Amino acid sequence: MDEEGFRSFLKKQRRSDGTIKTCIELTLKFEQYIEKHREETTVEIAKIADLEAFIDWGKREIGSMNSYLWALGHYFEYSEQKNLRKRANQMRQSEIAKKRGKRKKLLLKKIHGVKEEDVKKLESAGVSDTKSMLASGRTHELRVDLSKRIGVPLNRIVELVKIADLTRIVDIKSIRVRLLYDTGVDTVEKVATQNPERLRELTIKVNEVEKLLKRHPTLVETTYWIRQAKELDSIVDWSEERSGAPAGI
């Protein structure tokens, strides 16, 4: 592989030194596999079958191969191997989707920017994670009742329900969910209507100000978020908020 060319390519994309090092190390692992197991083949002339064979081998010998697919996606972008890049991204997204239903509950206290006092009051009512937050706030009436019972302003209850809803999208966790929420694209329904380029622009704008992530979300990532949002069922009723119901008490 063209290690120096790949390094320069990643630097132009403003990738961190750690990201560059990881991408190169994981791509070199693919090259080593090719040299050992696929005769008369190199990374530069590899085919989809070579990539798939590497991933199958890796699942047996290494375990999760998502990081390898992520790194190889970057390398194939650099080397302009479009079919391999497309296949690497497809395989990675497929593996992520398989884990979607196995994701652990995200505790509210782990979400960036959530007030500790709100978390304690919610926990006293049996609401400690995103799943229970959605169950307790799926309608306007439930949100109002919860707000009155525990003394957390309705606007902050609404914020937490929206954040909990956004975490149903794979890859949207404690910090990324705050980034996405702060763009104003704060519900699954809104994400589903976005243009990938525009959504990425919005996340970059927020991230440059708030410094939440070391790197900006990629176009591949925002495209995947939107595709997932379109596939998710609507489970929260926002009709009262859209009609202008008061946001706080």
- Domain residue ranges in the chain: 3-98, 108-242
Contact 65, 52 (CB under 8 A): no
Contact 200, 226 (CB under 8 A): no
Rg value, the chain, Cα: 21
CATH 3.30.450 fits 3-98, yes or no: no
| Burial degree of 81 (CB within 10 A; 0-12, 13-18, 19+) | buried
Residue 220 is predicted with a pLDDT of 81
- Average pLDDT of the residues in 109-114: 93
- Positive or negative, the Cα torsion across 218, 222, 227, 229? positive
Q: What is the 3-state secondary structure (H, E, C) of 31-76?
A: HHHHHHHCCCCCHHHCCHHHHHHHHHHHHHHCCCCHHHHHHHHHHH
- Positive or negative, the Cα torsion across 123, 126, 128, 133? negative
Residue 221 is predicted with a pLDDT of 86
Residue 77 is predicted with a pLDDT of 94
Res. 97: pLDDT tops 80: no
Residue 199 is predicted with a pLDDT of 95
Nearest to 56 by CA among 81, 73, 38, 79: 38
Nearest to 107 by CA among 118, 98, 95: 118
Res. 239: pLDDT tops 50: yes
Residue 102 is predicted with a pLDDT of 53
Confidence (pTM):
0.62
Contact 32, 83 (CB under 8 A): no
- Average pLDDT of the residues in 223-228: 88
Q: How far apart are CA 101 and CA 78, in angstroms?
A: 33
